[in-house]
A and B are shown apart, each in its own frame.
Chain A
Amino acid sequence: MDDPPVLELEGITKRFPGVVANDHIDFTLGRSEVHALLGENGAGKSTLMNVLYGLYQPDEGQIRVKGETVKIGSPKDAIERGIGMVHQHFMLIPVMTVAENIVLATEPKQAGVLLDYRAARRRVEELSRTFGFVIDPDARVDTLTVGQQQRVEILKALYRQADILILDEPTAVLTPQEAQGLFEILRVLVREGLSIIFISHKLNEVLDIANRITVLRRGKRIETIPRQGATQAGLARLMVGRDVLLRVEKEPAEPAEPLLEVADLHVKNERDLEAVRAVSFDVRAGEIVGIAGVDGNGQSELIDAITGLRSAESGRVVVAGRDVTRSHTRRVIEAGLGHIPEDRHLRGLVLDFTLAENLALEDYREPPDSRFGWLFPRRLIARARTLIREFDVRGGGPRTRAASLSGGNQQKVVIAREVHRDPRVLLAAQPTRGLDIGAVEFVHRRLVEERDEGRAVLLVSLELDEILSLSDRILVIYEGAIVAEYGPDVSEEELGLAMTGGVREEAVA
């Protein structure tokens, strides 16, 4: 890395109406370097990269590629300068083959008009060999896994002779195994002399792959540090601007009476197959019970049956002493269940409603919100104002549309709505999916607080870390049945094994 940097950004400033997305940002990238750009959602990472890729024009600042000051007016300019970008959402044509996708727009021609498919195929094979990709150039893109599609995107950039590669949150769509595979490829690319800008908000993978790390916060460059000596806690502090608890602090649980009882529950899915089989468990006041499992093992059907969104075939669901099996969702809510649903955009919020309306989504039918069917919008707004303050929702007031909030703040609205009704049982499904560190911390702390208030908390999550750091008891669901129960100190390995059906009979206590 003694060579002059291949890329220098100097004092890049980009303003949008009302915000400075990038405020005099300096950034350099050395040859054969992986330089991570770390920051929360909205910190300005994507804006900076869009400036570099020619999608935005900077208001101030300079870009130098290989020592030469350049003006990048469009992605075409960027490509000509050897800059390639792999977007978070792939820009591939599903019905075309790998080779066709890769050569698209710069395809080798036969007689000037016809695609020379054999030449295209040959070049793709050459590239794959050079960089150690295993990929079939004749496969149709829609038959590939997500990880493979990402490789096609990378190959596309390499085919266009990129030597500076921008990867925008490349692991967001990958499984942990696929992410490791990607890192292998990136190491090869670096060895071959490429330079990589790696955008992420995940601390562990940044520490895994990057040589240097630049942290952005609210449009400003906070610091650039080498990987050596960097820690997760340190990076988190730089990102968020204050100390972040990566590990949830909590006292041991003091479980009291059972508030949620599920007995011998059987539930069918849309295809009329039994998705939940003879599930029995209870959750007591003052404890968090985590349900761990690989996606699609009956979690959704179990949640739906508890919340009354789907009818159970047989069995019993009791919330705070009231039998709510096959009851309408409204009855279940009235019995004392709060539900933080899995997908806040689709199920948690009415994005076109204001915050006040969203916060009242379960209260509107009762006094003081309404009386005899007559709604009092001012009371909705007054309560919303209190809740917004109490739950520290930022980015809007009671009359702001929910869609205009960031993901973390949207989730705070959902939690505020479910918690302020003082439910006896709180059911949280994937409550931190897609949230950044600060918001995750908030949600986790809040769930523990609710537990300490004496609520029974049922946490269903695909994230093992989340299950392990929050739960007082852990149930493992596999193929619709609870196959194991553990205390909070179980190892990740043991849990992982159980999730793949490794313990079936013996472990059920």
Chain B
Amino acid sequence: MTELPGELEAPEAPEPTPEGTVPSVAARLALYQRAGGFVVPLITTVLAFFIGGLVVLVVTHKNPISTYKAIFNGSGLNWFFPWISHSDRVTAAFNLQSTLLLTTSLIFTGLAVAFAFRCGLFNIGGQGQYGMGAIVAVLVASSWTSMSGVPHIVLSIVLGALAGALWAGLAGILKATVGAHEVITTIMLNWIVFWFAAYLFGIGGPAQSSTQALVPVSNDVAPNTHLHVFWGSPILQGLHIGFFIAIAALVAYWIVLNRTTLGFEVRAVGFNPEAARYAGISVAKNYFLAMAISGTAAGLAGAIDVLGWKFRVGVDDIQGSTIGFIGIAVALLGRNTAVGIFFSALLFGALVNGTSTRNLDPSVFQPELASNLTLMIQGLVLLFVGADVLVIYLWRTRRKLLFWRRSAPTR
């Protein structure tokens, strides 16, 4: 009977909080975290921006407030202000369209992380699944040019989504059958896509452009497969209907999780796979399904980007893209809820777009540093999301300090 004290504690660890006793600190923090809802992610974001601003101040001696203002205007969110001038409004509209294009993709890649997360899986492979979706969609949409528009679009999107599903599903199958950890396998699958794209679209590759022999890029998609642009110019990357597909995906996400037996199983497995197994739920099946559905979302992002505004896929598009990785931040900050994912996708979309060299006023902030600022804020948000217990702690300490200050004079 030589047991470690740690092992002793394990079976009794989450002792419930019967009336009369006090919940442990961890339990209380968990409660705040759950009840925190909007508050904690909000504080997290504000903190990240605050520290980002400090760095701007210290390193570049620029005024952080005007920098943020420039980023805000660069993102086009000033379009919502009624008082801006007409010419500003035109620029703002253009910028906002770009922001929402990014938001569209980020909603999908955020969902790809969130759905797996609800099943207890960490899908790091959104990037690869996004890439597979884009590759398959561009191959389909640039072939069979005689097909008529709508069926061709549907076919491209469906096959792109399936490619993403397959790519993530592979990791799911490996997890379900041999227990290979999904973090490892999805990262490996990312690299396969990375080089697969180089093979396909690289100079002399089998799917390289037939018109531009010296550019590592695919053929263009058939013109009639372009998604309809409902706001802005179709030539200048206006906002296409993929945005609504993303919103629909958010709704579908909520419905699947909360109103279907599939979602019930996924959540049960995510919270406690052992209890699910004891109740007769197949954990392996749900691991596979959750990954496949996650991959579908990421694949949709790739396909819709191709048909919405990219119209072709270059090796650089696959190798240089970070849309799948930002999806991790989107899901984490959005706490895997539909509404949360929408707002955090909007935030990151605005950040990325607002700091792009094209949009940021160079007199305010050096454009070559701008995208680093995005990365920094992204990193800080991730750091704070990971440390949200710390944020809660600080929040509570603040209250304690206030209390102390208030009661001090009476002593």
Contact = CB atoms under 8 A, between A and B. Distances in A.
Interface of A: 16, 19, 21, 41-44, 46-47, 50, 56, 89-90, 92, 94, 141-147, 149, 173, 175, 218-219, 307-309, 328-330, 332-333, 339, 341, 343, 345-353, 357, 360-362, 364-365, 370, 373-375, 377, 395, 403-407, 410, 434
14 contacts: A16-B22, A41-B21, A89-B5, A89-B8, A92-B5, A142-B2, A143-B2, A149-B5, A329-B278, A332-B280, A350-B276, A351-B272, A361-B279, A365-B261
A285 to B, nearest CB: 23
A143 B2 CA distance: 6
A106 B258 CA distance: 56
Nearest to A43: B20
A96 B21 CA distance: 32
A423 B53 CA distance: 63
A421 to B, nearest CB: 11
Which of A332, A346, A349, A395 has the most chain B CB within a 10 Å cutoff?
A346
A89 B11 CA distance: 12
Given A42-B21, A47-B20, A145-B2, A347 B264 contact: no
Contact of B264 (A141, A345, A364): A364
B260 interface: yes
Contacts of B19: 19, 42, 218, 395, 406
A410 B16 contact: yes
Contacts of A21: 20-22
B151 interface: no
Given A145-B3, A361-B281, 16 more contacts: A19-B19, A50-B22, A90-B5, A90-B8, A94-B4, A141-B5, A143-B2, A345-B11, A345-B13, A347-B278, A348-B278, A350-B271, A361-B279, A373-B262, A406-B19, A407-B18
A352 B263 CA distance: 15
Contact of A41 (B3, B18, B268): B18
A222 to B, nearest CB: 14
Given A362-B279, A374-B260, A375-B259, A19 B20 contact: yes
B174 to A, nearest CB: 21
B275 interface: yes
A21 B5 CA distance: 29
Given A346-B274, A361-B275, A44 B4 contact: no
B6 to A, nearest CB: 8
Contacts of B261: 364-365, 370, 373-375
Given A309-B278, A345-B11, A375 B22 contact: no
Contact of A142 (B4, B16, B20, B262): B4
A200 B18 CA distance: 16
Contacts of B21: 21, 41-42, 44, 46-47
B91 to A, nearest CB: 47
B282 A328 contact: yes
Given A328-B282, A434-B12, A42 B18 contact: yes
A505 to B, nearest CB: 29
A46 B24 CA distance: 12
A350 B275 CA distance: 6
A328 B285 CA distance: 13
B280 A328 contact: yes
A219 B18 CA distance: 12
Contacts of B206: none
Contacts of A345: 11, 13-14
Contacts of B262: 373
A388 B279 CA distance: 19
Closest 6 CB pairs of A and B: A42-B18, A330-B280, A406-B18, A361-B279, A329-B280, A42-B20
Nearest to B17: A404
Interface residues of B, number: 41
Given A349-B275, A362-B279, A370-B261, A406 B1 contact: no
A21 B262 CA distance: 42
A420 to B, nearest CB: 14
Contacts of A145: 1-3
Interface in B1-57: 1-6, 8-9, 11-22
Contacts of A404: 16-17
Interface string B386-403: 000000000000000000
Contact of B2 (A144, A332, A343, A360): A144
Nearest to A436: B18
A47 B20 CA distance: 8
B277 interface: yes
Given A329-B277, A349-B272, A373 B260 contact: yes
B18 A375 contact: no
B96 to A, nearest CB: 38
Interface string B370-409: 0000000000000000000000000000000000000000
B277 A309 contact: yes
A352 B271 contact: yes
B267 interface: yes
Nearest to A55: B22
Contacts of A89: 5, 8-9, 12
A360 to B, nearest CB: 8
B19 to A, nearest CB: 5
B237 to A, nearest CB: 39
A146 B1 contact: yes
Contacts of A341: 278
A150 B79 CA distance: 68
Contacts of A90: 5, 8
B158 to A, nearest CB: 21
A175 B15 contact: no
Contacts of B14: 345, 351, 403
Interface string B333-359: 000000000000000000000000000
Contacts of B2: 142-145
A21 B278 CA distance: 36
A199 B9 CA distance: 18
Nearest to A90: B5
A47 B260 contact: no
A343 B22 CA distance: 23
B298 to A, nearest CB: 23
Nearest to B3: A146
B274 A347 contact: yes
A296 to B, nearest CB: 11
B341 to A, nearest CB: 20
Contacts of A348: 275, 278
Contact of B8 (A173, A219, A353, A357): A173
B20 A351 contact: no
Contacts of A395: 18-19
A481 to B, nearest CB: 24
Contacts of B20: 19, 21, 42-44, 47, 218-219
